[in-house]
Amino acid sequence: MSKVQLFFLDISEIVGSEGFSVVRLADHDKQRLICFICDKSMTDQISLRMKHVPEANHMIPEVLSKLLFGLTGNHWELVVHEVFNGQYRVVLHNILTNTLEHLRMSDAVLLHYISKIPLYIEETLMIRQSTAYNPHATGISIPINTLDTDRLNQELERAIEAEDYMLASYLHEELQRRIKQ
């Protein structure tokens, strides 16, 4: 399995949403970009670390990360391996014991940010899900297969109201694909 290493770029609140944000991750050379939506609680947690608030050093993710490395060494990696039902699936992999623990994408990014555990994505998934990195872009593309079902339904209604039938067709196809899974 070929993998591409990802690096955290930033997190930006979605204007007009109920606390949702977009997290941006890029490959090493900043050629390709992966974006995903995270909820308010994870936005707050990641933002707290980005501001380098000293109290964060005593919070449970930091303490558990220190214990993890203290007990097992630095033999871990995070691997994004698929998209299922609107969510990226990530595993925390112990390279020595080959044990796997499943995480939400936002939790994996927080762990990556705190502990510097390398974050990878399977190369074929990166090719399928990523967009070209543009440091001057004013918008962000998010693949429709990473939107939750409620958000897909909302976007479908908006597309129909706006008479954007091509987009409505794509959204409908994604919803139907999920029903069949």
158 vs 133, residue with greater confidence: 133
Q: How large is the C-alpha radius of gyration of the chain?
A: 17
At 32, is the secondary structure helix, strand, or coil?
strand
pLDDT at 62 over 90: yes
Same domain, 75 and 154: no
58 contacts 49 by C-beta, under 8 angstroms: no
Same domain, 109 and 158: no
The one-letter amino acid code at 41 reads S
Same domain, 90 and 167: no
Q: Which residues of 47-71 are buried (b: 16+ CB within 10 A; e: fewer)?
A: eebeeeeeeeeeeebeeebeebeee
- What is the pTM assigned to this prediction? 0.85
The pLDDT of residue 99 is 93
Provide the pLDDT confidence category of residue 144 given band limits of 50, 70 and 90: confident
35 contacts 142 by C-beta, under 8 angstroms: yes
Same domain, 100 and 38: yes
Provide the pLDDT confidence category of residue 69 given band limits of 50, 70 and 90: confident
Same domain, 16 and 97: yes
Within 8 A by CB and 6+ apart from 25, the residues are 6, 7, 8, 9, 33, 34, 35, 109, 119
Terminal Cα-to-Cα distance of the chain (whole angstroms): 25
Structure token digits, residue 13? 């609140």
Provide the pLDDT confidence category of residue 86 given band limits of 50, 70 and 90: confident
pLDDT at 151 over 80: yes
Same domain, 29 and 83: yes
Same domain, 156 and 100: no
Number of separate domains in the chain: 2
123: containing domain:
3-143
The pLDDT of residue 145 is 86
The pLDDT of residue 77 is 95
pLDDT at 3 over 80: yes
